[in-house]
Amino acid sequence: MVCRRIGIWILLAWCAVPARAQTRLKDICRVKGQEENTLHGLGLVVGLKGTGDGANFLPTLRGLAEALQQMGNPLGEGKIAELKDAKNVALVLVTATVGPAGNLQGDKIDCSVSAIAAKSLAGGRLFLTPLVGPQAGSDRVYAFAEGPITLDDPKIPTTGTIHRGCRLEEDFRNVFVKNHTITLVLNEDHADFGVAHEVAELINSTYQGIASQPRRLVQRPGVRQAAAEWSGEGEGDIARAINQLYIEVQLPQPYRTRPTEFVAEIMGLVLITPPQTEARVVIRERQGSIVIGGDVEIGPVLVTHKNVVIDTTGGAGPGSDTWFAIDPGQRGASKLSALVAALNAVKVPPADIIDIIKALERNGKLHGHLIIE
């Protein structure tokens, strides 16, 4: 069997350096307290065309009986048996999401409806349904939902949406300042001790010397006049990284009555260098796609696939007739991207490339975090 031996190298080329992309803090983190809240409740959908829960689903019949009771039309002596022909009613789960910015009383937002036992919600209308708060076991009503249901996908008739069908009965104001302190939360993909430290250092260097009492006027780039007027030296840092996810920031004295202005300023700060997180490889097996970070390296390894041998150790050397020098100029460890490029060059199928990457990880030769979706 004829084998081809391929050396993996990195190509070092002189090229123009592209303009450095700016990374703002708002691109990699958010302010704690600015989260979504989900309201939920159980309701009844009426007006179905015989696709409801039917007389054998007692939870629906009990809910319908209670609704009739509240509307002044209680059941007679026959009780639930009187509802045996109620085929156009379905018990559903209703949810509505209040966005990170919050909403005020009277605002209308979309809500989702999901059937529990019904075959289809097509043509149905949600009966007035109270929605309780996001806390488990809460019975406090924050909103009411009702209205005609629009199916999200005709092929899945058991779920739908009521556009602007949820009316809030209370204000949702997300508190983001506690004890004159805000907390920045790094995005999941940027959660890293080094990144958290860089963010804290950026904030401290920008607002260095802003005291609790007015000192002298010192204007700094990117800091508004209000901050400059309260400048002093040696007053301590205002930001500290708690862990790889959270950074606590104390509001300087001049901003304590204007926290929104302060948050707007710090979220607009720009990191000088892009945040450095762990090296990662993301594989989506169903789609056959592989996303490789440019900093993912592999250790010295010999990969054999059918009639192809790929050597990253450099052992064979350019003296062999079967040696193909790829990226001549390699110094140090090989890049995974070069290995994948070599495999693609000899038409190795994506599924086989994925298996090889998995084997590299199991062998301890993949210097990065492998994520399989």
The number of beta carbons lying within 10 Å of the beta carbon of residue 352 is 12
Cβ–Cβ under 8 Å, residues 93 and 39: no
Whether 355 shows a pLDDT value over 50: the answer reads yes
- Model pLDDT for residues 30-76, shown as the tens digit of each residue: 999 888 889 999 999 988 988 888 777 777 767 776 776 777 667 66
Q: Which pLDDT does position 186 carry in this prediction?
A: 93
Six-digit token string for 165: 């069908």
Find the mean pLDDT for residues 16-34.
75
Question: Contacts by 78-83 with C-beta closer than 8 Å and gap 24+?
Answer: 83/55
Contact between 254 and 226 under an 8 Å Cβ cutoff? The reply is: yes
Strands 141-148 and 125-132: antiparallel
For residue 79, the model assigns a pLDDT of 66
Q: What is the mean pLDDT of residues 125-132?
A: 93
* pLDDT digits 0-9 by tens, 170-217: 888 778 898 899 999 998 888 889 899 999 999 998 888 664 433 333
Give the chain's mean pLDDT: 78
Q: What is the pLDDT of residue 333?
A: 63
Question: How many Cβ atoms from other residues are within 10 Å of residue 198's Cβ?
Answer: 19
228-241, pLDDT tens digit by residue?
444 444 356 899 99
d(CA 96, CA 9): 54
Question: What's the rounded mean pLDDT across residues 108-117?
Answer: 94
Q: Mean pLDDT across the stretch 316-331?
A: 45
Selected residue with higher pLDDT from 267 and 85: 267
**pLDDT one-digit tens code per residue, 155-172:** 999 999 999 999 999 888
Taking only the tens place, the pLDDT of each residue in 278-305 is: 778 888 888 878 888 777 888 777 777 7
Give the range among 18-22, 80-84, 265-269, 311-315 with minimum mean pLDDT.
Answer: 18-22
What does the pLDDT look like over 80-108, one tens digit per residue? 656 666 778 889 999 999 988 888 899 99
| Angle, helices 336-345/350-362, rounded to nearest 10 degrees | 150
Which pLDDT value is given to residue 227? 47
Question: What pTM was estimated for this model as a whole?
Answer: 0.61
Higher pLDDT, 178 or 330: 178
Quote the pLDDT of residue 249: 94
Q: What is the pLDDT of residue 216?
A: 38
Give the mean model confidence (pLDDT) for residues 10-14. Answer: 34
- Of the pLDDT bands very low, low, confident and very high (cuts 50, 70, 90), residue 245 is very high
Which pLDDT belongs to residue 318? 46
Kindly report the number of other CB atoms within 10 A of residue 143's CB atom.
27
